[in-house]
């Protein structure tokens, strides 16, 4: 391994080294403390800031921890490999076992994220203390104290249902982050040194959790890198970074390279990252970062952060504060007035609790969960598994869908497009030899070979491979990046008679071995000139800009003397190394020389047939698509054009890195295609759209590199074939990777959101209107408008009837656009429409006072009966006024469950005073004239309500 260049590692003439106690370089680059971090004033200010919500997004800028990791890795990438040992306080022999144990204790286990499960009682506590649950619990306790057990029991049942559902969802989702530490779990070969006097280098296997900075690891094909690594040696090393970038293509790595700051981090050739894996080749590397200091940790440290509440949750919180405020004022007044009138404390308390119960939308948790469960069942029929019920509602509000290109828009497999000569014209001879190369190669079959064979067979070409015989093969390697087969045919009647070497591979590597070029136009072979070379490069650049992949094809006709040279060289090559330890090529003469360049084979990952239609349908519903991918810009742009996504505004990840915050947010807002993004950049894009753009964002992804964006998105969507981490992070899992399924999901989400908003707005308006009317009636009549039993019975009848809203239908116009809840919109809606309910109740009071003279103690039963029926009917018919912006029963009719519920609830409410139960409850019979008045009253209610509705829509341009 060579002599160490660190003199201070060896002391007192002993070979046993003593590591320095500190390292100023690493402290400066990685562990630099903040000068204000530990001061009391700043800590106190930080404590107060925890209670202040922040909407700031860093955009393209890096956090302090990210900047430390970037600086550390760039410093090592620019340093000669023989000097990097000093940075991590190691030697070329590796660490001793004792030192490795000490570092493991100091640094902790080598996992990118330390995640501890919240205790089950903590989750239960959070689920229990929901604002509406608190109201219901308090009212239930008060009901039991006042000996009103039935109402108290009903409210406790509602609390139990709500808490159980929320606890189950949060407990299931809390396990997702633990998957992150599992996907790098594997044994690692580490070089350690042992011995007191004479140290020996030993190769041992340790668990990836026990790897520490300073370890030297040995890797081969299939191995995962256990940390961020600076390469010490490499031999034909090819690495897959798909877990970090999402790109399906591999990248070459080399140890003898010194990078600079202009190279994007993930493109550094001498740095390998935790979680990536070796595709081919071997090598050794020095572990420079583990655990929370790796690049991967900058990704996963953001996983599991609590999302800010969405607009719907904010609206519910506002309703909670409104109800509490009204409850404290109105219920207190009612209690005082009732007590001063009746001088009965128990009766006054029970009446106040009953009014508070009426004011609280008791069925809200049940209605919300019923709507969501109904939506989940509907989506299950469309082959969607819904893990988080609230995501269905968010999908209805979603107005931007961020999708990855590979597999979402494309088929995720290569299809051959054309076979061209150096002028860009199709030539069958190019296809023939490319086919023979793919047909006879046996060392490794790649997807591109299958694409060539499929193209030939599906287009009816008859190249008759049975007439050819394979002599030998020079397999593909990642240094030559080409494969050659030697074939011969004895068909003397064919112009292809003889022995040929057929080579296919990366264009530049094929051009290196070509001395001639076939001119198909003049049917001759001419020397390979510089103009020909430049023409081919220009052609390949144009093709690459169209998003196509390219392979070059060349041949050489072999004579017997060439074959004897080949066999002599082939035996030599089998005993020699294709690449030296420092990465230089062998100097031996190669049989792949003086070849004739035939042309190019082009490939494409085609878009799905359903993608364009699905994106168009999403656009019609107001959902804009943005493509966030780690693939190249040219390829992504080509696919986007074919599926109908605008490519006028495109940008890449390295370009985003250079932008300041304001420019970053503006660029993200305009861009429709964002390519070569890192996982952290995907996260920043999603957060920018959410906070600065105020959008409801959905994200469709299936890889580890998508986990951050999935965790941050309002609606996270993965597929059944995705990796475990992506599925754990996702709210919705598609059993079919088809965007048309998402269109159906958006429709179900809007039905769910619309029906939920119907109940929220209707219940708040009706309940507030009823309580205000009760206050007015109590102040005027000086006695209870309804007894506590009558009030709770009335509330129970229409509350049960409102459950049918979950099965209602929505206007077609409503489903066409996304909708969001807003606190201001809800307050204005209540202010405009709540007065209509109160007006209807006041009209009933005026009739009972002036026409029926029901203002004495003798007429209390009559007043109770009349007010009871009017209240039940008003709370029942308000559904039809609120549910649509059209004229109810004329332009739009509700679904049959809602109609049936309306008829049944109305019939029960009208019939109850005429039954024996009604007599027990203190009701009396009503004259037919009162029902005639109710008919006129509700006719006027619908007319006035619709006029107010039209004025509201005219001002605010929306209804629900």
Strands 251-252 and 228-240: antiparallel
**Structural tokens at position 74:** 């760039």
Q: Which element (helix H / strand E) includes 170?
A: helix 149-173
What separation, in Å, do the N-terminal and C-terminal C-alpha atoms of the chain show? 73
Work out the angle at residue 631's Cα, subtended by the Cα atoms of residues 630 and 636, and round it to the nearest 5 degrees: 120
Alpha helix ranges (H) inside 382-461: 390-397, 428-440, 447-458
| Three-class SS of 913-949 | HHCHHHHHHCCCCCCHHHHHHHHHHHHHHHHHHHHHH
Residue 66's φ and ψ, nearest 5 degrees, are -65, -40
Query: Which of left, alpha, beta for 644 (phi over 0: left; psi -120 to 50: alpha)?
Result: left
Residues 6+ apart with CB under 8 A from 881: 888, 941, 942, 945, 946, 949
Report the length, in residues, of the chain.
960
| Cα pseudo-dihedral 335, 340, 343, 347, rounded to 10 | -20
- Cα separation, 94 vs 193, in Å, equals 6
**Any idea what DSSP says for residue 292?**
G
Active-site pick, 310, 311, 404, 728: 404
- Cα separation, 633 vs 629, in Å, equals 9
**Any idea what DSSP says for residue 50?**
T
Residue 454: CA count within 13 A, CB half-sphere: 12
Helix (H, G, I), strand (E, B) or coil at 285: strand
Q: Which element (helix H / strand E) includes 277?
A: strand 277-289
- Catalytic, 404? Answer yes
Q: Where are the beta strands (DSSP E) in 475-618?
A: 482-489, 498-505, 514-519, 524-527, 549-558, 595-604
Q: Which residue has the tokens 């109402």?
A: 151
Burial of 55 (0-12, 13-18, 19+ CB in 10 A): exposed
- Cα separation, 591 vs 501, in Å, equals 9
Q: Give the count of beta carbons closer than 10 Å to the beta carbon of residue 582.
A: 10
- Cα separation, 764 vs 837, in Å, equals 11
Q: Which of 876, 909, 918, 907 is nearest to 770 (CA)?
A: 876
Catalytic residues: 404
């Amino acid at each position: 391994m060579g002599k160490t260049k660190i003199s201070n590692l060896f002391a007192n003439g002993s070979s046993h080294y003593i590591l320095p106690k500190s390292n100023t370089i690493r402290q400066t680059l990685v562990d630099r403390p903040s000068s204000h971090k530990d001061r009391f004033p700043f800590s106190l200010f930080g404590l107060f800031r925890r209670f202040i919500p922040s909407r700031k997004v860093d955009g393209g800028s890096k956090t302090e921890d990210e900047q430390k990791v970037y600086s550390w890795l760039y410093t090592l990438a620019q340093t000669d490999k023989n000097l990097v040992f000093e940075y991590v306080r190691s030697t070329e022999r590796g660490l001793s076992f004792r030192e490795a144990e000490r570092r493991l204790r100091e640094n902790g286990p080598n996992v990118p994220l330390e995640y501890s499960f919240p205790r089950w009682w903590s989750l239960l506590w959070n689920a229990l203390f929901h604002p509406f649950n608190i109201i219901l619990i308090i009212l239930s306790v008060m009901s039991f104290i006042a000996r009103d057990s039935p109402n108290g029991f009903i409210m406790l049942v509602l609390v139990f249902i709500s808490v159980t559902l929320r606890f189950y969802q949060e407990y299931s989702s809390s396990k997702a982050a633990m998957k992150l530490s599992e996907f790098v779990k594997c044994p690692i070969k580490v070089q350690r040194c042992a011995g007191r006097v004479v140290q020996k280098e030993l190769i041992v296997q340790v668990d990836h959790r026990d790897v520490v900075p300073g370890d030297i690891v040995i890797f081969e094909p299939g191995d995962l890198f256990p940390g961020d690594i600076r390469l010490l040696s490499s031999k034909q090393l090819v690495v897959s970074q798909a877990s970090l970038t999402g790109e399906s293509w591999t990248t070459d790595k080399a140890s003898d390279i010194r990078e600079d700051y202009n190279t994007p981090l993930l493109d550094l050739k001498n740095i390998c990252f935790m979680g990536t894996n070796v595709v081919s080749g071997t090598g050794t590397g020095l572990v420079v970062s583990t655990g929370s200091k790796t690049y991967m940790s900058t990704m996963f440290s953001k996983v599991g952060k609590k999302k800010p509440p969405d607009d719907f949750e904010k609206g519910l919180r506002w309703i909670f504060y409104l109800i509490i405020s009204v409850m404290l004022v109105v219920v207190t007044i009612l209690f005082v007035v009732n007590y001063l009138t009746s001088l009965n404390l128990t009766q006054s308390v029970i009446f106040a609790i009953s009014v508070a119960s009426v004011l609280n939308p008791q069925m809200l948790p049940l209605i919300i969960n019923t709507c969501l469960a109904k939506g989940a069942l509907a989506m299950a029929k469309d082959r969607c598994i819904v893990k988080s019920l609230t995501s269905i509602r968010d999908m209805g509000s979603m107005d931007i869908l961020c999708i990855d290109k590979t597999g979402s828009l494309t088929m995720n497999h290569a299809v051959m497009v054309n076979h061209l000569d150096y002028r860009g014209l199709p030539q069958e001879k190019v296809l023939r030899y490319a086919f023979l190369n793919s047909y006879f190669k046996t060392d490794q079959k790649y997807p591109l070979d299958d694409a060539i064979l499929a193209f030939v067979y599906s287009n009816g070409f008859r190249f008759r491979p049975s007439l050819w015989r394979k002599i030998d093969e020079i397999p593909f390697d990642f240094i030559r990046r080409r494969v050659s087969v030697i074939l011969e045919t004895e068909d003397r009647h064919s112009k292809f008679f003889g022995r040929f070497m057929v080579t296919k591979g990366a264009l530049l590597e094929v051009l290196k071995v070509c001395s001639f070029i076939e001119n198909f136009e003049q049917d001759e072979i001419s020397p390979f000139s510089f103009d020909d070379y430049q023409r081919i490069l220009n052609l390949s650049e144009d093709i690459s800009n169209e998003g196509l992949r390219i392979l070059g094809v060349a041949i050489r006709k072999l004579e017997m003397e060439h074959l004897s040279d080949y066999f002599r060289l082939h035996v030599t090559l089998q005993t020699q190394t294709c690449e030296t330890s420092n990465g230089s090529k062998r100097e031996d003469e190669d049989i792949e020389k003086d070849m004739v360049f035939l042309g190019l084979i082009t490939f494409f990952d085609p878009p799905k047939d359903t993608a364009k239609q699905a994106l168009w349908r999403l656009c019609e519903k107001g959902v804009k698509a943005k493509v966030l991918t780690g693939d190249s810009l040219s390829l992504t742009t080509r696919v986007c054009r074919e599926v109908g996504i605008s490519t006028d505004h495109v940008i890449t990840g390295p370009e985003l890195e250079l932008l300041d915050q304001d420019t970053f947010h503006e660029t993200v807002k305009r861009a429709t295609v964002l390519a070569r993004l890192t996982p952290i950049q995907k996260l920043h894009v999603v957060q920018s759209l959410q906070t600065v753009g105020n959008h409801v964002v959905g994200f469709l992804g299936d890889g580890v590199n998508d986990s951050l964006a999935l965790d941050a998105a309002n609606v996270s969507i993965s597929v059944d074939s995705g990796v475990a981490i992506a599925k754990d992070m996702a709210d919705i899992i598609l059993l079919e990777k088809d965007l048309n399924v998402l269109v159906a999901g958006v429709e179900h989400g809007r039905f769910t959101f619309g029906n939920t908003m119907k109940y929220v707005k209707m219940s708040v308006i009706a309940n507030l209107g009823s309580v205000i009317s009760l206050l007015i009636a109590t102040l005027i009549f000086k006695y209870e408008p309804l007894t506590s039993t009558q009030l709770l019975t009335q509330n129970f009848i229409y509350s049960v009837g409102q459950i049918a809203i979950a099965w209602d239908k929505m206007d077609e116009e409503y489903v066409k656009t996304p909708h969001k809840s807003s606190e201001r919109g809800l307050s204005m809606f209540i202010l405009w429409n709540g007065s209509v309910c109160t007006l209807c109740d006041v009209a009933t009071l005026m009739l009972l006072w002036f026409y029926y003279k029901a203002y004495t103690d003798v007429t209390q039963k009559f007043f109770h009966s009349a007010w009871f029926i009017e209240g039940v009917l008003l709370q029942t018919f308000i559904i039809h006024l609120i549910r649509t912006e059209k004229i109810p029963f004329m332009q739009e009719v509700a679904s049959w469950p809602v109609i049936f519920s309306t008829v049944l609830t109305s019939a029960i409410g009208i019939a109850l005073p005429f039954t024996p139960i009604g007599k027990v409850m203190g009701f009396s019979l009503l004259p037919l004239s009162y029902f005639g008045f109710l008919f006129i009253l509700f006719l006027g209610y619908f007319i006035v309500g619709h006029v107010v509705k039209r004025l509201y829509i005219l001002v605010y341009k929306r209804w629900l």
